[in-house]
Amino acid sequence: MTAFAYTELGFDREVAEYFHPGRAARALMDGAAVAQFGQVAESVKVARKLRQDVFLAEIDLEQLQARGLRTIRFEALRKYPAVERDFSFVFADDVEFEIVRRAVMGLRLPTLRSFVPVEIFRGGSIGAGKYSILLRARLQSDEGTLRDEQIAQWSGEIVAALQKLGGVQRV
């Protein structure tokens, strides 16, 4: 998807009825649906006499073609090193990653270069209706090497934003 021209890539759960609820997503580029993917619903699996789980991806090539390809930009390598920090949280199922991402990006931290999910876990010691997610923030400055106290401050802001969403930090 990174090859196409768009401002914002998002995901939601508004998928066709033949997908399993909660195990499928729709990809949106600047609000326009370009794909849907996930596990096929149990009712479809039974009706088709399928023995194994089936996963399906549908891509709207006309929508993607209408977007066009992004302009390739080259940037010089950054002079100062990046720092990555991991955050492990438990959220209710209704708190989607897109909500989490927007909350953190809304902080407008000057050095936040990326914020991505690394791992999601359900079951075990995680209660029903909840999931554990490992998130990774990449911080990097163009001004100089980041200091421990700066990183700690920004990490604290990220933790506070995630706690406002009802997240419980795992240690």
Same domain, 43 and 91: no
Q: What is the mean pLDDT of residues 62-82?
A: 87
Over residues 53-71, mean pLDDT: 91
Is the pLDDT confidence value at 1 over 70? no
Asked whether residue 73 is assigned to any structural domain, the reply reads no
Mean pLDDT of the region 31-42: 94
Percent of the chain whose predicted confidence (pLDDT) is above 90: 76
Per the structure, how many domains does the chain have? 2
Say which residues have a Cβ less than 8 Å from residue 135's Cβ, sequence separation at least 6: 86, 87, 88, 89, 100, 115, 116, 117, 118, 162
**Whether this model's pTM surpasses 0.85:** no
Q: What pLDDT is attached to residue 4?
A: 86
Which residue, 67, 95, 116, sits at the end of a domain? 67
Is residue 6 predicted with pLDDT exceeding 90? Answer: no
Q: Which residue has the higher pLDDT, 77 or 40?
A: 40
Residue 1 covered by a domain: no
- 106 occurs within a structural domain: yes
Domain that holds residue 26: 9-67
Average pLDDT over residues 144-155: 95
pLDDT at 67: 86
State yes or no: pLDDT of 5 exceeds 90. Answer: no
Q: Which pLDDT does position 72 carry in this prediction?
A: 83
Answer yes or no: do 89 and 62 share one domain: no
Rounded CA-CA distance 68/6 in Å is: 9
Query: Which amino acid is present at 12?
Result: D
Question: β-strands 32-40, 19-29: how paired?
Answer: antiparallel
Q: What is the CATH number of the domain that holds 124?
A: 3.30.70.380
Count of beta carbons in the 10 Å neighbourhood of residue 62: 9
